[in-house]
Amino acid sequence: MADRKPLIAGNWKLNNNHLEAISLVQKIAFSLKDADFERAEVVVIPSFTNLRSVQTLIDGDKLRIGYGAQDISAHDKGAYTGEVSGAQLAKLGCTYALAGHSERREYHNEDDALVNAKVRAAFASGVTPLLCLGEGLEVRKSGGQVAHSVAQLDAALKDVTEEQAGRIVVAYEPVWAIGTGEVATPEDAQEVCGALRARIAELYSPETAERTRILYGGSVKADNVAGIMAKDDIDGALVGGASLKADEFAKLARLGE
C-alpha cells in the first residue's frame, strides 16, 4: 500500500438508541486505550439520532475516534421532510457520510444519479463522502463485477474534481457479502479494488489514484481483516455487523492483531 492511512469504519445501521450508542463508543474507546491510531483511522457511523450524543462524548473525552453519518441529503435546505443536509452534518463535526450504501440503493431506490448528487453535496459542505458500490450475486455469477463496479464509480464521480477524487473514500461492497457471513476472498476483493483504482487513474491521474482510499466491505471480521488488507489496493474496511461488538471492532481497529 502506498502512503494511504488505513481506515476502519463501523456502520451501525439501524441499531442502538443514543444511550446504547454512547455505551458502545465508551467500550470501544476503552478497548483501544493503548492503540496506535497512526496505524489506522477509526470511525463509527451511528444513526442520525445518535450523532449528537456520540459527538459530545468523543469531543468531551477527546477520544481519537471519528464519526460520520449513514446518509446525506442531496439538498442543502428547504422542503425535504426527513432529509439531513451536509451542512447539518458538518456542523456536528461529522467527518464522513456514506453515499450509495447498497441498502439505500435497494430499499430506497437510490440510483447512480442520486448517489452522485449526494457525493457532490458532501464535498460542497466539507464532509468526506464514503461512496459505497458493488455488484449483486447475479452480476458476480456472470463475471461482470468489475464492469458493474467501475460503471457505478464513473457515475458517482460525475463532476467531481480531481482534488475531491483524491479525498473521496470508496468502499467496494459486493452485495452478496453484506451481512451474509460470506466474505469475498482477498483476491476477489483486490480484483475489483484494483480496477477501481486504475479507473481513477484514467479519469484523473495516477497520483490522484494513489491518494484515494479504497475499502472493502462485506462480512469483515477481526479474523479476516488482515488477509484482505494485505492486498495492494485495499486500504481498510467498512464493517457492519462486527462493528456492533466493542471488542471485535477494537480488534478490527488494530487491524486484526
Residues that bind ligand PEP (CB under 6 A): 11, 173, 178-179, 217-220, 238-242
The residue among 211 and 221 lying less far from ligand PEP, judged by its C-beta, is: 221
Least Å from the CB of residue 158 to ligand PEP: 23
Least Å from the CB of residue 64 to ligand PEP: 22
Tell whether residue 102 is among the known ligand binding residues.
no
Find residue 236's DSSP bridge partners.
Answer: 7
Least Å from the CB of residue 118 to ligand PEP: 16
Tell whether residue 143 is among the known ligand binding residues.
no
Tell whether residue 13 is among the known ligand binding residues.
yes
Instruction: Give the Cα separation of 52 and 32 in Å (integer).
Output: 22
Instruction: Note whether 174 and 218 are within 8 A (CB).
Output: yes
Tell whether residue 241 is among the known ligand binding residues.
yes
Catalytic residue among 101, 103, 148, 248: 101
The residue among 242 and 253 lying less far from ligand PEP, judged by its C-beta, is: 242
Tell whether residue 219 is among the known ligand binding residues.
yes
Catalytic annotation present for 173: yes
Catalytic residue among 41, 103, 135, 173: 173
The residue among 179 and 206 lying less far from ligand PEP, judged by its C-beta, is: 179
**Burial (CB count <10 Å: 0-12, 13-18, 19+), residue 138:** exposed
Least Å from the CB of residue 217 to ligand PEP: 4
The residue among 46 and 218 lying less far from ligand PEP, judged by its C-beta, is: 218
Among residues 129, 140, 138, which one has the least CA distance to residue 192? 140
Instruction: Note whether 65 and 91 are within 8 A (CB).
Output: no
Catalytic annotation present for 101: yes
Residues belonging to the active site: 101, 173
- Binding site for substrate: which residues? 11-13, 179, 219, 240-241
